[in-house]
Amino acid sequence: MNDPAPLTRLDALRLLERVQLRDLARTRRWIAQEEQRQAEQAEGERRRPPVPDWIIEKGIGDGPPAGVHVGGCYAAPKWPRALGVSREQAREALYQQVPACPHCHPDRDLGVVDGA
């Protein structure tokens, strides 16, 4: 009945060009979104406070300190249960029998041994 006219080779190529331009625009949007995501992530990294050299792990509730860690220890808790402290404070905690982390061994790094 009313069959559409067949596409010529030129019509088919123009259709392909429109499809590819649409795909290129979408890809460029994805690239822009990824660049924005990476920029935001880099800004977050830049704003992050530095890792303390020594960490005292707070006990649960009002309990005594639960451990001493080297800054950056994977087993150290995150805020609010971690308290960044000075070298002297970490040594004092170890002398007061706060347990040393068995993973990062702050007692070894601070020169504090059992019975010292």
Instruction: Report the number of distinct structural domains present in the chain.
Output: 2
* pLDDT, tens digit, 9 for 90 and up, residues 12-37: 999 999 999 999 999 999 999 999 99
In a domain, 72, yes or no: yes
Q: What domain range includes position 83?
A: 54-110
Percentage of residues in the chain having pLDDT higher than 90 = 69
DSSP 5-56: PPPPHHHHHHHHHHHHHHHHHHHHHHHHHHHHHHHHHHHHHHHSPPPPSEEE
Distance CA 33, CA 36 (A): 5
| Domain match, 44 and 58 both | no
Q: How many CB atoms within 10 Å of residue 15?
A: 11
The whole-chain average pLDDT of the chain stands at 91
pTM of the model: 0.60
Q: Could you give the strand order of the β-sheet that contains 54-57, starting from the edge strand earlier in sequence?
A: 67-70, 54-57, 82-85
Q: Is residue 116 part of a domain?
A: no
3-class DSSP assignment, residue 113: coil
Is there a single domain that holds both residue 43 and residue 59? Answer: no
In a domain, residue 115? The reply is: no
Are residues 62 and 35 both part of a single domain?
no
Tell me, yes or no, whether 98 and 82 share the same domain: yes
